Amino acid sequence: MATPHNAASKGDLAKVVLMPGDPLRAQYVVEHYLSDVRLVNEVRNMFGFTGLYDGVEISVMGSGMGIPSIGIYSWELFTEYDVDAIIRIGSAGGLAPQVKLRDVIIGQGACTDSNYVAKTMGVPGTYAPIASFDLVRDAVDAAEELGASYHVGNLLSTDVFYSAPGVNEAWAAAGVLAAEMEAAGLYANAMRAGKKALGIMTVSDLPLTGEGLPASERQTSFTQMMEIALKVAVKHAAPAL
């Protein structure tokens, strides 16, 4: 059943979806890691693909930038397409002093300056969106197996890319590892829908020092993050018939 944002039919999407913000990163994943790939969505050029990885059906679909965008796509995947788990694979700006360029961040929780989570959950207090523990555990195992330089902890999912002076320093002082723009919305949707979610990010820049990677590398070079996510996905998806 198609939605206003997704032309896929029921059954076109696998039980586990990898979700990069950039649809070109989705295309990179399927071209380099999946076989028997079919395009299942291209509405608004937000490409969605389904294929096989180690004999297991996996889908990859872009989310766009920001919590409102991933909020729409992930909610429809969870509620209209029977997706069980979404793993965000994206870039993040490292804030903690121990975080370096190209390190992998496994988002155990996600702070936010967005109103999305509070409006979505409707609880009389401050809601703390967190990742699914079994996905976190499996991501750590996969990172260890691949020898990745990784960190597990809190993210900042912010609505503001160009922050005011002092904002990033404040979040870093609060123990946040890295800033990105989607995980808190994804985690809240998963918890509300009774599904699973995890954000795995590669550090593309260090806002407090001014270091960064070019856009071309953000699209194509974050292979360890992708491989970690695929290993987690295989453990939580059904083998293809």
Only one residue has tokens 């079919």, namely: 38
C-alpha 36/C-alpha 95 separation (Å) is: 39
Instruction: Answer yes or no: 141 catalytic.
Output: no
C-alpha 102/C-alpha 105 separation (Å) is: 9
Given the residues 12, 22, 103, 205, the one annotated as active site: 205
C-alpha 14/C-alpha 54 separation (Å) is: 14
Residue of 217, 176, 188, 182 lying closest to 200 (CA atoms): 182
DSSP 8-28: PPTTSS-SEEEE-SSHHHHHH
Question: H or E segment at 118?
Answer: helix 116-121
What residues contact 88, with CB distance under 8 A and at least 6 apart? Answer: 19, 20, 21, 63, 70, 107, 182, 183, 186, 197, 198, 199, 200, 201
Looking at the DSSP assignment, which residues form a beta bridge with residue 86? 17, 197
Helix (H, G, I), strand (E, B) or coil at 181: coil
C-alpha 222/C-alpha 202 separation (Å) is: 6
Residue of 158, 161, 153, 156 lying closest to 136 (CA atoms): 153
> Active-site residue numbers?
205
